Structure 1
Amino acid sequence: MHALSLNFFSCISLSRPVLKLRIMSEEQNGKPEEWAWPELKLPDLLLTDTVRKLHEAIESEWDSLRQSACQTAAGRALWKHVTHDQLAELLAGETYLRSLYEKIKKDRCRNAREVSGVMLAVRTLWFDSKIEAALSSFDGGGAQVVLLGAGMDARAYRLSCLKETDVFEVDFPEVLQMKTTTLQAATDSINDNQHVRVIAKSLNRVAADIRDNDWLQKLQISGFVPEKNTVWVLEGILYYLSHSHAIEVLKIIADNRALTRTVLLADFMNKSSTTLSSSMFHFHSDWPDCLLPSLGFSEVKLSQIGDPDAHFGLLHDPLNLFNKLRSLPRSVQTHPDDGTPCRRLYFVQASSSPHQTTP
């Protein structure tokens, strides 16, 4: 239970004439330069019988919720010039890579303002940067990062800030098993194992459904220490839950603040966004920066895509969809210019400690 369906990322970037994607270049002293998107070239390991059969099982046996983990991996793979996720192609699989690549080609041919997947790239970079900042803020004693609904996340293999940190990946048993088997195939390959080295101090995979009431117990059995400084990462997961399940998960995390310094990193859909798929998306909050203090967090900061800390040099056109949404009050549900729903994704950082009181 991990990824925001790429339908969300593509649906919000319907045809709008625009600038081409640009990235920052040190060679040009910080001036943007156009990124020449490479042709899709699949890694050899992805085409082997072993890995191909693994991904065929995903397509035939998994429901859309579990498959969304591979969709997110495809986004990171095709934006790896900024995400630097070298394992994403392998974890995504050929079908999802080709599907997103075709969307990107179409967007670039019509000079779309928002190229498919850019939202996912920004989201990935936001979580990366906030994880690093949170770990830097802790005063020694070691730390833990818990990835709820980890899916095909490969942060334990690529973020250097995790080298002194214990990482826990929580997800459905079949998702974690498929991920482990796929990465083992890369480890066994002479040509493809250079990226399959865990950077984190330790990596523990915890098979659990966070909709059940025993996931925290399973986490503790796997080595999680409640008294240790902890960063909780809920990327692309809350909106798949019912309202009651989402609130319960947030309450469990909030309760941990009584024991240690706690940082929560999460993304929230607003109500309009859930209409993209009423069967998939359930929980929403138009005001998560008000919700979290009510649960016990004392420091909450909300960002929208395009804000200074959620930009990363990927959104230069002032008329792109994200900037247009940021210019409107959050209470506005329908855009006054064209009557389209104001579909927003909020990035929220919340923290607390045993010595702090909530407002």
Structure 2
Amino acid sequence: MSELGAIERTALLTAALRAAETRRPDRLYTDPYAEAFAGEVGPELLAQIREVTFPAGRARTLPSTPDYNAIRTRFFDDLLISAVAESDIDQVVVAPCGMDARAFRLDWPRPVRFFDVDRPVVLAAKRAVLGETRPSADVRPVGVDLRDGTWTAQLTAAGYRPDEPSIWLLEGLLYYLPEPDVHRVLDAVRGVSADGSLIAADVVNRAALTLPNMRGLLDVFASWGCPWLFGTDEPEELFARHGVLAEAIQPGEPDADYGRWPDPVPPRSATDVRRVFFVRGRRHER
């Protein structure tokens, strides 16, 4: 998988984190494909993250990436499954999909068309690992660059129906993009999602990009060629600007804890603290 770009290689980190979670007796989910997706590179990336996150002989000051990733994965797993079970929506879009295996490992309550959106090289790497593995959903790979303004045309060519509600997951994406690209992506989603569509994403706050105690983690990602570029202190406002009435939840709050978040949850009024938000909301036209 050496041909993957810098940002795409972070998908191997996520796969390594999911493989490690799957080996835990108290795991929050099981991903039987993650270890194969991670390959040799994923564990090497994870080792670098662990080294700065859990420094020998010193207290941890950075967020626990393994716990965060476990909570994020489980939170969005539950959100997608419940959204399908509680509605008649039958199209799910994961953009970018990276080495995500939800179309294969989750027990979907009814048939769904599942659009795996990512660069062609990523989709080819996934296909090479999965081989003839049968998915639990009707998977439609869509090979595009999300920064290209024409990618939604390829999505519709794959069978996506913009006039029908959909479920969108933008996981592990927005903080890697310059702010203009964040707005372009959210505008594109708005343009092809009908009223009532569910939009979900994760995003960091602005302080997470600059705080001295985040430096170790930020430096690792920058050294890989994929620095964190975007954060917002008002995620609800960001998504409202793009036609989504949303709520933002922090890991460790009741709906996003699962007994695993190890740190205090800062109130929204607190300043100069790092935060992550899980955003979920409905597409609407005023």
Q: TM-score range by the shorter chain?
A: 0.7 to 0.9
Aligned counterparts of 1:282 and 1:90: Cα–Cα separation in 2: 30
Aligned residue number for residue 250 of structure 1: 186
In structure 2, the CA distance between the partners of 1:252 and 1:98, relative to structure 1 (3 Å rule), is closer
Give unmatched runs, 5+ long, in structure 1: 1-57, 188-195, 334-341
Aligned residue number for residue 217 of structure 1: 153
In structure 2, the CA distance between the partners of 1:171 and 1:76, relative to structure 1 (3 Å rule), is same
Aligned counterparts of 1:162 and 1:284: Cα–Cα separation in 2: 35
Answer yes or no: is 1:289 the counterpart of 2:236: yes
Assess if the C-alpha contact under 8 Å between 2:203 and 2:231 holds in 1: yes
Q: How many equivalent pairs are there? A: 267
Give unmatched runs, 5+ long, in structure 2: 211-217
The alpha carbon displacement at 1:313 in A equals: 1.9
Assess if the C-alpha contact under 8 Å between 1:243 and 1:282 holds in 2: yes
Aligned residue number for residue 208 of structure 2: 273
5 Å matches for 1:187-198?
187=132, 196-198=133-135
Q: Deviations over 1:38-97 (max 9, x none)?
A: xxxxxxxxxxxxxxxxxxxx24x3332111111101101100132200000000112322
Counterpart selection for 1:307 from 239, 244, 253: 253
SS at match of 1:135: helix
5 Å matches for 1:8-87?
58-59=1-2, 61-80=3-22, 81-87=27-33
Aligned counterparts of 1:108 and 1:314: Cα–Cα separation in 2: 20
In structure 2, the CA distance between the partners of 1:211 and 1:132, relative to structure 1 (3 Å rule), is same
Counterpart selection for 2:77 from 112, 122, 128: 128
Q: Deviations over 1:157-196 (max 9, x none)?
A: 0111264110001111111111111211xx4xxxxxxxx3
Counterpart selection for 1:327 from 261, 266, 275: 266
Counterpart selection for 2:197 from 238, 244, 262: 262
Assess if the C-alpha contact under 8 Å between 2:85 and 2:110 holds in 1: no
Look up the equivalent residue of 1:332 and give its one-letter code: T
SS at match of 1:170: strand
The alpha carbon displacement at 1:228 in A equals: 2.2
Aligned counterparts of 1:134 and 1:170: Cα–Cα separation in 2: 19
Aligned residue number for residue 30 of structure 1: none
Q: Deviations over 1:196-216 (max 9, x none)?
A: 32001x101111001001110
In structure 2, the CA distance between the partners of 1:272 and 1:162, relative to structure 1 (3 Å rule), is farther
| TM score, norm. by length of structure 2 | 0.84
Aligned residue number for residue 53 of structure 1: none
Look up the equivalent residue of 2:97 and give its one-letter code: A
Assess if the C-alpha contact under 8 Å between 1:163 and 1:199 holds in 2: no
Assess if the C-alpha contact under 8 Å between 2:28 and 2:71 holds in 1: no
| TM score, norm. by length of structure 1 | 0.68
RMSD: 2.5
Aligned counterparts of 1:283 and 1:107: Cα–Cα separation in 2: 25
Aligned residue number for residue 193 of structure 1: none
Counterpart selection for 1:151 from 98, 105, 118: 98
SS at match of 2:74: helix
Point out the more displaced range, 61-70 or 148-157: 61-70
Aligned residue number for residue 97 of structure 1: 43
The alpha carbon displacement at 1:109 in A equals: 8.5
Aligned residue number for residue 235 of structure 1: 171
Counterpart selection for 1:176 from 105, 123, 141: 123
The alpha carbon displacement at 1:331 in A equals: 5.0
